[in-house]
């Protein structure tokens, strides 16, 4: 349980920040003049994307390490990053349409950024599907690691998609955007920190559970070896007595 020693403090801080983030989004930040209250989804949509990128970035780094030096630890760190990243990417693809419907009149349009985000989700969903059938196969784990590495290439594409290829997606904070009201910026930054803390909590739990699972599997292997040795010993004694 040493791995969880500091987790309660992290979880408590995350809970406080969640409450603060809700206050900042719905009370502190002003209502956007054109979009109204629906714009408040922005404070969940963008931070969810940042948290998803964090998960996929960790998967990218640890997949490279796994290919260079195969080991369960690196595999668990990469796999956990994808699992938590996919959860936040699903939040992006859920909050986005909820925001888009009253503004654009459609839940989803195939502009460059939205299409690239959907592709990112599908790539890492394919990774999870592959891992679900990989079992203990080192070959399939390495194929999944390669997929995680190449999938991350889509992240910078998402970031520059609007500026390079246009589309209906707003730019806002990035180069060429209209910017945000100062209070909106503060609320957004608080939300980003909050979602990164929430990501850290989920990632910590996922990695810890993976390490416990590996430890349990090792104990099962050891028990099986002891059982085989005991059966062999009994068989030899029976042979001698006969």
Q: How confident is the model over 35-72, as pLDDT tens digits?
A: 878 889 889 999 999 999 999 999 999 999 999 999 88
Domain residue ranges of the chain, discontinuous segments joined by +: 8-210
Report the pLDDT value the prediction gives residue 100, as an integer from 0 to 100.
73
Report the pLDDT value the prediction gives residue 177, as an integer from 0 to 100.
45
Q: How confident is the model over 72-126, as pLDDT tens digits?
A: 899 999 999 999 999 999 999 999 888 877 777 777 777 788 888 999 999 999 9
Report the pLDDT value the prediction gives residue 166, as an integer from 0 to 100.
58
> Is the predicted pLDDT of residue 173 greater than 60, yes or no?
no
The end-to-end CA distance of the chain, in Å, is 50
> Is the predicted pLDDT of residue 176 greater than 60, yes or no?
no
| Cα distance between residue 47 and residue 25, in whole Å | 12
Burial of 112-127, coded b for 16+ CB within 10 Å and e otherwise, reads bbbbbbbebbebbeeb
pTM of the model: 0.84
Inter-helix orientation angle 42-68/154-165, to 10°: 140
Report the pLDDT value the prediction gives residue 242, as an integer from 0 to 100.
64
Report the pLDDT value the prediction gives residue 3, as an integer from 0 to 100.
60
Query: What is the chain's mean pLDDT, rounded?
Result: 85
> Is the predicted pLDDT of residue 195 greater than 60, yes or no?
yes
């Amino acid at each position: 349980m040493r791995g969880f020693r500091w987790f309660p403090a992290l979880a408590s801080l995350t809970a406080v920040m969640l409450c603060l983030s809700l206050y900042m989004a719905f009370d502190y930040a002003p209502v956007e003049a054109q979009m109204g209250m629906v714009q408040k989804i922005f404070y969940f949509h963008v931070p969810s994307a940042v948290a998803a990128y964090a998960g996929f970035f960790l998967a990218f780094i640890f997949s490279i390490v796994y290919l260079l030096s195969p080991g369960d630890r690196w595999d668990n760190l990469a796999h956990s990053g994808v699992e938590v990243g996919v959860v936040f990417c699903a939040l992006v693809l859920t909050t986005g349409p909820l925001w888009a419907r009253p503004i654009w009149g459609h839940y989803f349009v195939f502009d460059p950024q939205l299409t690239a985000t959907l592709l990112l989700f599908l790539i890492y969903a394919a990774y999870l599907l592959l891992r679900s059938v990989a079992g203990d196969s080192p070959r399939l784990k390495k194929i999944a690691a390669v997929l995680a590495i190449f999938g991350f290439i889509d992240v910078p594409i998402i970031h520059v998609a609007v500026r390079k290829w246009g589309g209906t997606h707003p730019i806002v904070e990035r180069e060429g955007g209209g910017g945000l009201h100062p209070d909106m910026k503060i609320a957004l930054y608080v939300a980003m920190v909050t979602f990164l803390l929430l990501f850290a909590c989920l990632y910590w739990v996922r990695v810890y559970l993976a390490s416990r699972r590996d430890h349990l599997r090792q104990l099962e292997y050891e028990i099986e070896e002891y059982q085989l040795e005991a059966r062999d010993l009994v068989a030899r004694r029976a042979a001698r007595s006969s």
